[in-house]
Chains A and B, each alone.
Chain A
C-alpha cells in the first residue's frame, strides 16, 4: 500500500485530524480568554518577568512536573511511574515519531497524522533509515513504556490500594468518555501496528514479533482484512479523546504548562478571585492524591468536598455553598497536590463569591471600631496580642504573664482588657470587608504604640498577621507566635527552665504549618517529648475545631479530634500539648473530660519556670 498523495491522506485519518483541530482550537480559545481577562497587575507581572531567568526555571519545572512528574514520584513511586510512563512516553512517541517520519520522507514539513499512522503509510521496513538509526526499535520500546502506564491505570481503577491509594476520584461523564478513549488508544495502536507488521513481515521486536505471531496464528487473508479497520479504530479513539479532552480532566495536560510559567512570574490566587484561578482549576487532573490526606474523608467518610471535587464543581459551575464551606482549610490537600494548586485561596475565593451574593455583604458593619477606645496597657516594645481564643483560655494568658515576668520582658498588652478580633474568622467565612475593618483597627493600634515585636498567643492571629496584614508587614514590626518567642527566650538564656517529670505529645496546629522545630525545641527543654521524631508529613492533622469549617457539627468535629488524640496518646505520653487555644479546646473535648489533660505549650513552660 503506497501513500496516495504528498499529504499521505486516507479517509481513516479524518477522525484524528478533526480531533486535533478541535483540541487546539478549544485550548487556544480558553487560554486566550483567560489571559485577556487577567487583572492588570498580573499582566504587568508577566511582562516584567517573561524575559528573565524565571522563564528558564519554569521550563525546567515543566519538564520535571508535566513529563516526569517528580512530585508524585517523591510521595508514591508507583503512581509516579504510572503518570510518567503515560506523559513522557506519549510525548516521546510524538517527538521520535516526528523525527522518524521527517528522516524517512526527507522533508520536515508533514502533517501530524503521517507520524501518528506512520506504520500504515510505510508498512515495509525502511532499510535506508535502519542503517542510520533503528527508529522502529525505539518506537517499540516507547510503546511498551506507555502500555505499562495504561496497565497500571487499569489496575488502579480496579484496585486503587495496589497503588497505595484508598480512594480514587469519581468521574464526570466527559471524564469517562475521555478516560475510556485514553485507555484504548495505545492498545489499539499496538494492535494496528502489529497487524500491519504481520501482514508485511516488518517491524521491530515488539510490534514485529506480535505481527509474526498473528501471521502464524491467523490466516493471512483474515489478517489483511483486519488491518484497515484496526487503523480506523485507532484513529477514532484518538479523535474522540481529543474532542473530549478540553472538557475533561485531561485539560490539565496542557494547562499545567502555562500555570507553571505564570506561577514562576509570581502570579497568585486572590481571595477576591481572578482569571488566574481558571489556570489553576483546569490544571487539576483529579488524580485523587488529595483525597486520602483529607481528615474529613478519613474520619467522617464524607467524600464529595475534597479539593479534587471542589475544583471540579467550581470548574463546571455547579459548586454549592455546602461543598465550599465543608472544609477545615487545614492545608493537607494543598501539601499533597502534585500540581501545587493554591487550594486554600481558591476555596476562600469561592466563599467570598457566595458571601457577595448575600445582602449583608456590603452593609457597613463594625463602624464602631473607628471610635473604639484603646484598652491596651503597658509600655514595652514587645507587644502581646492574646486574640479571642486565648481570652477564652485564660490559663494560656496566665502562663504567658508568668513567662514574660520570669524573663523580665516589659510587655505592652494589646488586648488583655478586651480587644478586636484579628479578622480571620470573618475572612474565612468570605466576609472580606468586615475582616478588613478589624485589620485596619489592629494595624493602627500596633503602630500607635511603637512596638518592635508582636507576640501572639494564637496561631490563627499569627497567620492573619503574617499573611494577611499587608500594612503591618510594612511597619517592620516582627511578628512571632509565642512558641517562637519562648524558643528565643530559652535559646538566648533569658528564660531559665527546669525539667518537669512528665511526658508530652505535641500536636501541630494547622495554622502553624512550617513551625515544627521551635515547639519541639521548647518542649524537650521542659519535659520528655514523645513525638519529637515524627515525620513532617504526619505532623498536621486538624484537631477538628478549625474556624474554617462552617458546616460540620460538634459530633463530627469531635470525631476528627479523636483521631489526633488517639495517635498522640499512642506515643505513650501522659499529657497532650499544643500551641493553639482552639486546638486545646477541641482536643480536650475529643479526649473526654476525665482522662487526658490537654495544655498549651505556654502552660507547659510556665510549669517549668
Chain B
C-alpha cells in the first residue's frame, strides 16, 4: 500500500512538528517552505521566553524530528484548491503539488513598523524592532548605529497590535512577555543600561510569565510605565525623544533615550487573503470552529496549525501540530 501524501505548507515550528507527527501517523508528509531554509521566525530569534532557552535548541529538535521528510524550499504557495479526493497547492512559479490533504502552517508576518510613522522607524537610526534586537542579541552586540552601547533604552509594546488606527485590532499575545524577556536580556548584554517598558496592559498570562515580570523589576531594575508613546523625534545627536503620557499618574512625560525598541505584533500574512480560505476578522485563517475544530479549516481536506489562525506561543503551536496529524488520520480513515 502506498502511503498517502500530505502537503505541509510552511516549514516553521508548526510545519516541522506537523510533518513529524504525520509521519508517525503513517502518512508521507511533504513540506513546502517559501524561504531558503526551514525554521520560520523562531530560527531568527536568539532566546525564548520564559526560560531564555536558546531558540536554536528548539529548531534543532524539531529539525531532527523532521529529518528525512521530503520538502521543497524557496517555493511560495499562492493558492490551495480542494479537489475531489485531495488537495492541489499551486506555487508562485506555477509548480503544482498534489496531496490527499494539506496542512496550512503559514504562520504570521511581523507588523511593518513603518506604518506607525510617528515612531520614526526607517527614518531615525536608533529606532529598531524587537526582531532586530534579537538579531543584535544573536550577534552578541547591542549597540546604537554609531557603535556606542546605549545607556537608556525604551521598549514600546503593542506596535501594530490592539491598534485600530492601523487596522490591527487584535492582541498579538506574545509581545508583552517578549518585551519583559528582552528588557532583562538588555540589562544582561549592556551592563548599567536603564530599560523602560511602555505598555497599555501587561498580559503575563502564561506559566512563569508573571514571575519573569516580577524578576525583571526586582533583579534587573527594569521600569514599566503605563502609557503609549504618542510620538518620537530624533535629536541632533541621533537619540530619540519620546512624548508619552504616564496614564497611572496622569501626567505627560518627555524623555530622551538612546534606543527605541518597537515590539512589533503579529499580523496575517498575504497568503491569508490569496488562498481563498475563510478568514477571521483579524485577517488570519478561520478554523472550522474555535472550540473543538481548531485545526480543521471549513474547507474539506485543508487543515490549519500554529499561528496561521492567530498569535500563539511555541508550545501552543507544537500542540496544534500534533493535533492536526491526529485529526487528519481520523478524517481520512472514514
Query: Which residues of A come within 8 Å of B, CB atoms?
Result: 391-395, 398, 417-418, 553-554, 558, 585, 588-589, 592-594
- Does B70 belong to the interface (CB within 8 Å)? no
- Does B334 belong to the interface (CB within 8 Å)? no
- Does B167 belong to the interface (CB within 8 Å)? yes
The answer to whether B120 and A585 touch across the interface, beta carbons within 8 angstroms, is: no
| Most chain A CB neighbours (cut-off 10 Å) among B231, B254, B270 | B231
**How far apart are the CA atoms of A183 and B267 in the complex, in Å?**
59
- Does B188 belong to the interface (CB within 8 Å)? no
* 0 or 1 for each of B90-123: is its CB under 8 Å from A? (1 = yes): 0000000000000000000001100101101001
* 0 or 1 for each of B3-22: is its CB under 8 Å from A? (1 = yes): 00000000000000000000
The answer to whether B112 and A391 touch across the interface, beta carbons within 8 angstroms, is: no
**How far apart are the CA atoms of A339 and B15 in the complex, in Å?**
66
Q: Which residues of chain A come closer than 8 Å to B123, judged between CB atoms?
A: 394-395, 398
Q: In chain B between 101 and 160, which residues have their CB closer than 8 angstroms to a CB of chain A?
A: 111-112, 115, 117-118, 120, 123-124
**Of all chain A residues, which has the CB nearest B112?**
A593
Known: A394-B123, A593-B267. A418 touches B243 (CB 8 A): yes
The answer to whether B118 and A393 touch across the interface, beta carbons within 8 angstroms, is: yes
Query: Which residues of B come within 8 Å of A, CB atoms?
Result: 111-112, 115, 117-118, 120, 123-124, 164-167, 230-234, 243, 254, 267, 270
**How far apart are the CA atoms of A162 and B332 in the complex, in Å?**
59
| Most chain B CB neighbours (cut-off 10 Å) among A558, A589, A593, A594 | A593
Q: Which residues of chain B come closer than 8 Å to A588, judged between CB atoms?
A: 115
Q: Closest Cβ of chain A: how far from B163's Cβ, in Å?
A: 9
Q: Which residues of chain B come closer than 8 Å to A594, judged between CB atoms?
A: 270
Known: A392-B117, A593-B267. A558 touches B233 (CB 8 A): no
Q: Which residues of chain B come closer than 8 Å to A585, judged between CB atoms?
A: 117, 165
The answer to whether B270 and A593 touch across the interface, beta carbons within 8 angstroms, is: no
The answer to whether B231 and A391 touch across the interface, beta carbons within 8 angstroms, is: yes
Known: A418-B243, A593-B112, A594-B270. A394 touches B117 (CB 8 A): yes
Q: List 6 A-B contacts (CB under 8 A).
A: A391-B233, A395-B117, A558-B167, A593-B112, A593-B166, A593-B267
The one of A392, A398, A553 that contacts B118, using a Cβ cutoff of 8 Å: A392
Q: Closest Cβ of chain A: how far from B126's Cβ, in Å?
A: 14
**Of all chain B residues, which has the CB nearest A416?**
B233
- For the residues of B in contact with A, the DSSP-based class is mixed
**How far apart are the CA atoms of A398 and B120 in the complex, in Å?**
10
Known: A391-B231, A394-B233, A398-B123. A593 touches B167 (CB 8 A): yes
The answer to whether B233 and A554 touch across the interface, beta carbons within 8 angstroms, is: no
**How far apart are the CA atoms of A393 and B111 in the complex, in Å?**
18
Q: Closest Cβ of chain B: how far from A375's Cβ, in Å?
A: 11
**How far apart are the CA atoms of A148 and B270 in the complex, in Å?**
58
The one of B115, B124, B164, B254 that contacts A593, using a Cβ cutoff of 8 Å: B115
**Of all chain B residues, which has the CB nearest A417?**
B233
Q: Closest Cβ of chain A: how far from B158's Cβ, in Å?
A: 15
The answer to whether B167 and A589 touch across the interface, beta carbons within 8 angstroms, is: yes
The one of B115, B164, B166, B231 that contacts A392, using a Cβ cutoff of 8 Å: B231
Q: Closest Cβ of chain A: how far from B106's Cβ, in Å?
A: 15
User: Assuming A391-B118, A418-B243, A593-B267, what are 7 further A-B pairs, CB within 8 angstroms?
Assistant: A392-B117, A417-B233, A585-B117, A588-B115, A593-B111, A593-B112, A594-B270
Q: Closest Cβ of chain A: how far from B170's Cβ, in Å?
A: 13
Q: Which residues of chain B come closer than 8 Å to A392, judged between CB atoms?
A: 117-118, 230-231
The one of A393, A554, A558, A592 that contacts B117, using a Cβ cutoff of 8 Å: A393
**Of all chain A residues, which has the CB nearest B270?**
A594
The one of A394, A417, A593 that contacts B120, using a Cβ cutoff of 8 Å: A394
**Of all chain A residues, which has the CB nearest B111?**
A593
**How far apart are the CA atoms of A337 and B270 in the complex, in Å?**
44
**How far apart are the CA atoms of A594 and B272 in the complex, in Å?**
12
The answer to whether B270 and A589 touch across the interface, beta carbons within 8 angstroms, is: no
Q: Which residues of chain A come closer than 8 Å to B254, judged between CB atoms?
A: 418
Q: Closest Cβ of chain B: how far from A581's Cβ, in Å?
A: 9
**How far apart are the CA atoms of A393 and B254 in the complex, in Å?**
18
Q: Closest Cβ of chain A: how far from B15's Cβ, in Å?
A: 22
The answer to whether B167 and A394 touch across the interface, beta carbons within 8 angstroms, is: no
**How far apart are the CA atoms of A164 and B230 in the complex, in Å?**
47
Q: Which residues of chain B come closer than 8 Å to A417, judged between CB atoms?
A: 233
The answer to whether B231 and A589 touch across the interface, beta carbons within 8 angstroms, is: no
**How far apart are the CA atoms of A398 and B118 in the complex, in Å?**
12
The answer to whether A589 and B117 touch across the interface, beta carbons within 8 angstroms, is: no
Give 4 closest A-B pairs by Cβ, nearest first.
Answer: A554-B164, A392-B118, A393-B117, A593-B115
The answer to whether B243 and A589 touch across the interface, beta carbons within 8 angstroms, is: no
Q: Closest Cβ of chain B: how far from A131's Cβ, in Å?
A: 80
**Of all chain A residues, which has the CB nearest B232?**
A394
Q: Closest Cβ of chain B: how far from A150's Cβ, in Å?
A: 50
Q: Closest Cβ of chain B: how far from A425's Cβ, in Å?
A: 14
Q: Closest Cβ of chain B: how far from A587's Cβ, in Å?
A: 12
Q: Closest Cβ of chain A: how far from B318's Cβ, in Å?
A: 29
**Of all chain B residues, which has the CB nearest A588?**
B115
Q: Which residues of chain B come closer than 8 Å to A395, judged between CB atoms?
A: 117, 123
**Of all chain A residues, which has the CB nearest B281?**
A555
**Of all chain A residues, which has the CB nearest B230?**
A392
Q: Closest Cβ of chain A: how far from B211's Cβ, in Å?
A: 35
Q: Which residues of chain A come closer than 8 Å to B166, judged between CB atoms?
A: 589, 593
Q: Which residues of chain B come closer than 8 Å to A393, judged between CB atoms?
A: 117-118
Q: Closest Cβ of chain B: how far from A367's Cβ, in Å?
A: 15
**How far apart are the CA atoms of A417 and B233 in the complex, in Å?**
8
| Most chain B CB neighbours (cut-off 10 Å) among A394, A554, A592, A594 | A394
**Of all chain A residues, which has the CB nearest B283?**
A592
The answer to whether B118 and A554 touch across the interface, beta carbons within 8 angstroms, is: no
Q: Which residues of chain B come closer than 8 Å to A394, judged between CB atoms?
A: 117-118, 120, 123-124, 231-234
**How far apart are the CA atoms of A581 and B327 in the complex, in Å?**
50
**How far apart are the CA atoms of A554 and B166 in the complex, in Å?**
9
**How far apart are the CA atoms of A418 and B253 in the complex, in Å?**
13
Q: Closest Cβ of chain B: how far from A545's Cβ, in Å?
A: 9
**How far apart are the CA atoms of A553 and B167 in the complex, in Å?**
11
Q: Closest Cβ of chain B: how far from A270's Cβ, in Å?
A: 34
**How far apart are the CA atoms of A394 and B124 in the complex, in Å?**
10
**Of all chain A residues, which has the CB nearest B109?**
A594
**How far apart are the CA atoms of A495 and B22 in the complex, in Å?**
65
Q: Which residues of chain A come closer than 8 Å to B167, judged between CB atoms?
A: 554, 558, 589, 592-593
**Of all chain A residues, which has the CB nearest B254?**
A418
**How far apart are the CA atoms of A592 and B269 in the complex, in Å?**
12
Q: Closest Cβ of chain A: how far from B92's Cβ, in Å?
A: 15
Q: Closest Cβ of chain A: how far from B237's Cβ, in Å?
A: 14
Q: Which residues of chain A come closer than 8 Å to B243, judged between CB atoms?
A: 418
**How far apart are the CA atoms of A588 and B160 in the complex, in Å?**
14
**How far apart are the CA atoms of A92 and B166 in the complex, in Å?**
60
**How far apart are the CA atoms of A417 and B241 in the complex, in Å?**
10
**How far apart are the CA atoms of A395 and B232 in the complex, in Å?**
12
Q: Closest Cβ of chain B: how far from A420's Cβ, in Å?
A: 13
Q: Closest Cβ of chain A: how far from B215's Cβ, in Å?
A: 35
Q: Closest Cβ of chain A: how far from B108's Cβ, in Å?
A: 13
**Of all chain A residues, which has the CB nearest B269?**
A594
Q: Closest Cβ of chain A: how far from B262's Cβ, in Å?
A: 14
| Most chain A CB neighbours (cut-off 10 Å) among B112, B117, B232, B267 | B117
**Of all chain B residues, which has the CB nearest A597?**
B114
Q: Which residues of chain B come closer than 8 Å to A589, judged between CB atoms?
A: 165-167
Q: Which residues of chain A come closer than 8 Å to B112, judged between CB atoms?
A: 593
Q: Closest Cβ of chain B: how far from A248's Cβ, in Å?
A: 43
Q: Closest Cβ of chain A: how far from B125's Cβ, in Å?
A: 13
**How far apart are the CA atoms of A418 and B164 in the complex, in Å?**
25
